[in-house]
Amino acid sequence: MTDLRTLFDAGVAAVHGDTSVTASLAAKPVAAPDRIIAVGKAATAMARAAHVLFPETPLLIVTKYHHADGAPAAAEVIEAAHPVLDENSISAGARVLEAVQNMAAGSHLMLLVSGGASALAEAPADGMSLDDLKNRAQQMLASGADIHAMNAARTKASQIKGGKLLGAFRGTRVTTLAISDVEGDSLQVIGSGIGAAPAQPAFSFDARIVASNAIARAAVRQTASDAGLTVGHDEETLYADVNVVASRIAGALKDASAGVHLFGGEPTVVLPPNPGQGGRNQALALLLAREIVDVEGLQILVAGTDGTDGPTDAAGAIIDGATWDASGQEALDRADAGAWLQARGALLKTGPTGTNVMDLVIARKS
C-alpha cells in the first residue's frame, strides 16, 4: 500500500537541494565560480551539490539552526534563527555582504537561495536595530500578512534584499539557483530578493528556479499513478487564511471521487496574543479534522516541505475523520493545534528535509 507519508517523501525527494542543483548544472553547465554563497533552509543540501562540482571554490553557507548536518568540511557555516531573526542573522548578513563586496573585478559568483533566507541573513538599513526588525517580523507573522507584504517591508529595512546584495557586486558574472517557496516562483520574492539582480545589472546574470511546489506535486502524482491510484485534484491554491483554505479543501474532498488529491501553496494564519504550540500546517490539519469529522475513508496529510512548520520541530500532521473531538476548538482558539495533535499521535515529524517549496496537502479517499 502506498501511504500518505510515502507520497509526501516522493514529492520532497524530487525537489531536494542536492537533486535540484545537480540536475540544473548538468542540464546547463557553468564555468567554475570564484565563490559560492548558499542562504536558506536548503542551503546545506544545495551547497553540497555545488561543492561536488566545484570542490576548490570557497563556500559560505547560511542556514537555520540544526540544518547544517552534512555541510562540506571546507565550508564556512553560519547558523541563525527562523522565522524571527536573531544576532546571528545580523552576523550572517554582514558576512554575506562583505563576501560579495570583496569579490574582484572579472569574478564569477554563484548564489544558492532557498526559503528562509529573509530571516537567516540580514544587514539592517541605517537606523534599524535588531529589536526593530524582530518586533516587525513578529507583528507581521501574527497578523497573517502574506509573503508579498512581508517581503516589501523586509526590503525597505535591508541593505541586501530586493536586489541590493548584488548591487554591491563588482565582478562580471552571477549565477543564481533558487528553490522557490513563493507563489509565482519569482526571484524577486524568494528570500525577499536576496538572489535577485538590481534593475540594470553591470554583470552577466543567469537566474534559474531549480525546484518548486509544482515539481513536488508532479512527483507525488507520478508516484500515486505508478501505484495504480487515480489522481484527482492537483492545485496550487493554498493562498488564503487557514480557515478559508480548510473549508474550501474539505468541500472539494467531500465531493471528490476515490483516489489521491493534491493541493500546494502556503496559507496564512492570524495569531492571538500569547499563542500556543504549532504552525500554519498544524492549524490547517486540525481545522480539516473538524471539517471532515465522521467522514469515513478519507485521510489527509498537511505538511511543510522543509520539515519545520513555523517555530516547531514538526512538519505538520496526518488526520482523518476520527481525529476531531470538541476539545479541538479550544486548541484552535488559542493557536495550540500542535500540542493538541501531539497528544493524539497525529503530528508528522520528518526533520530538516533539504528543501523548501511551501506546503503540501495530500489526501487519499477510498
Instruction: Find all residues with CB under 8 Å of 343, minimum gap 6, and list them.
Output: none
Instruction: Give the three cell numbers for residue 171.
Output: 565582478
How many Å apart are CA 333 and CA 13, to the nearest integer?
35
Q: Give the bridge partners for 207, in sequence order.
A: 176
Confidence of residue 139 (pLDDT cuts 50, 70, 90): confident
How many Å apart are CA 302 and CA 98, to the nearest integer?
40
In this predicted structure, what is the pLDDT of residue 203?
Answer: 98
Q: Give the bridge partners for 320, in sequence order.
A: 299
pLDDT in tens, 346-355: 999 999 999 9
More confident residue, 177 or 273: 177
How many Å apart are CA 140 and CA 23, to the nearest integer?
36
Asked whether the predicted pLDDT for residue 141 surpasses 90, the reply is no
Is the CA virtual torsion 256, 260, 265, 271 positive or negative? positive
317 touches 349 (CB < 8 A):
no
Confidence of residue 148 (pLDDT cuts 50, 70, 90): low
Other CB atoms within 10 A of residue 129 CB:
10
DSSP 8-class letter at 185: G
In this predicted structure, what is the pLDDT of residue 281?
Answer: 98
In this predicted structure, what is the pLDDT of residue 198?
Answer: 95
Note if the pTM is more than 0.85. yes
Mean pLDDT for 90-109 is 97
pLDDT in tens, 248-268: 999 999 999 999 999 999 999
Q: Please spell the DSSP secondary structure of 11-67, one letter per residue.
A: HHHHT-HHHHHHHHHHHS--PPPSEEEEESTTHHHHHHHHHHH-TTS-EEEEEETT-
Give the N- to C-terminal CA distance of the chain in Å, as an integer: 13
In this predicted structure, what is the pLDDT of residue 154?
Answer: 72
Asked whether the predicted pLDDT for residue 1 surpasses 60, the reply is no
Strands 316-320 vs 347-348: parallel, antiparallel or unpaired:
antiparallel
How many Å apart are CA 207 and CA 149, to the nearest integer?
23
Phi/psi of residue 155, nearest 5 degrees:
-65, -40
In this predicted structure, what is the pLDDT of residue 294?
Answer: 87
- Percent over 70 (pLDDT), the chain: 96
Confidence of residue 138 (pLDDT cuts 50, 70, 90): confident
In the sheet with 298-304, reading across from the earlier edge strand, the strands are: 231-238, 259-265, 359-365, 298-304, 316-320, 347-348
In this predicted structure, what is the pLDDT of residue 308?
Answer: 93
